[in-house]
Amino acid sequence: MPREIIDIPSTRPVRRLRRLRRSPAARSLVSETKLHPHDLVQPLFIKDSGEPEKVPSMPGVERIPLDRISAHCAKLQDLGLHAVALFPCTDPALKDPSGTAAFDPENLICRGIKALKKTLPELLVVADVALDPYTSHGHDGLLDPQGDVDNDRTVAALERMAVLLAHAGADWVAPSDMMDGRVAAIRTALDDAGCTHIAILAYSAKFASAFYGPFRDAIGSASSAGTRSLDKRTYQLDPANRREALLEAALDEEEGADALMVKPAGPFLDIIREIRERTDLPLAAYQVSGEYAQIHAAAQLGWLDLKTARDESLVGIKRAGADFILTYFAESWARDYQKI
């Protein structure tokens, strides 16, 4: 058979973009988005005592006993991670409809914060401000007689909780409840309590997402509610609403938030980009438990390469405009970064 002849175009391309992709060194020099351990925050689940417990829906994630939390975080610091976000696994016996345990100065989260600030004072500790780890119904606030979350009573409760966490030693408080007016109320409460130095990281665009299920397993709010798909649509954002998300972020900035957040990250990269273009405040994104779990699940089935998919997902979030990322991949990513 005659050999096939491939004609070379008479007009060759002036721009050959592949020239800058020819080697790892060249690609590194022209990389537009850089990721560093300092850009990542490791969320941690703490329990009161006993041995570490695996979270079945989150491979590689454990509930860490209080007496091991400092040693664990020291290892994170050695990897170059500078910040952690703490979430308590509250004993079900301590949960009630009013989330009473949230206001106990000796509750699990307060003891965890104190332990970390005593042994690792330079570690930045972010403390969640919401009632779902403490309520028997699993919602983020106090319920009214009709069973919906009562906005203003919940905000009053969150003010108390934020001050308590600040006094325990939290560097940042992070209201994740999505109540109207809570950032301004918490800012006033912190300032009145002499905590003007405590920053507020506002969960500004927190969507009513299907990707929170593994987290609810980890902290026990799913078992409290009897379902991991607890309906929080009366206070969390509709995933279809872009303009409302931008309005929420603008309101939090007006109310005195020090940094804003989008949650989840991956399905809402467009929101991250739009908020980034509208604010000069630091912007965070939370790569949530379901995002983490789905990458692991696909990798376990051999459908994705775990590290490559992990890295691509994190770079995509950073490229969209996030200054820093809360991710359960922080520790593994930082460990691999050190090997480079």
Q: Which residues are designated catalytic?
A: 206, 263
Following DSSP, what letter does each residue of 245-293 receive, concatenated?
A: HHHHHHHHHHTT-SEEEEESSGGGHHHHHHHHHH--S-EEEEE-HHHHH
> Whose CA is closest to 158, among 185, 198, 188?
185
Which residue type occupies 41?
A: V
Beta carbons of 306 and 295 less than 8 angstroms apart: yes
Residues 6+ apart with CB under 8 A from 34: 318
CB atoms within 10 A of CB 84: 25
Taking CA atoms, 94 is separated from 69, 98, 101, 235, in Å, by 21, 11, 6, 25
Q: Exposure of 22 by Cβ count < 10 A (0-12 exposed, 13-18 middle, 19+ buried)?
A: exposed
CA distance 149 to 179: 9
Q: Exposure of 338 by Cβ count < 10 A (0-12 exposed, 13-18 middle, 19+ buried)?
A: exposed
CA distance 257 to 199: 8
CA distance 98 to 241: 31
CA distance 73 to 92: 26
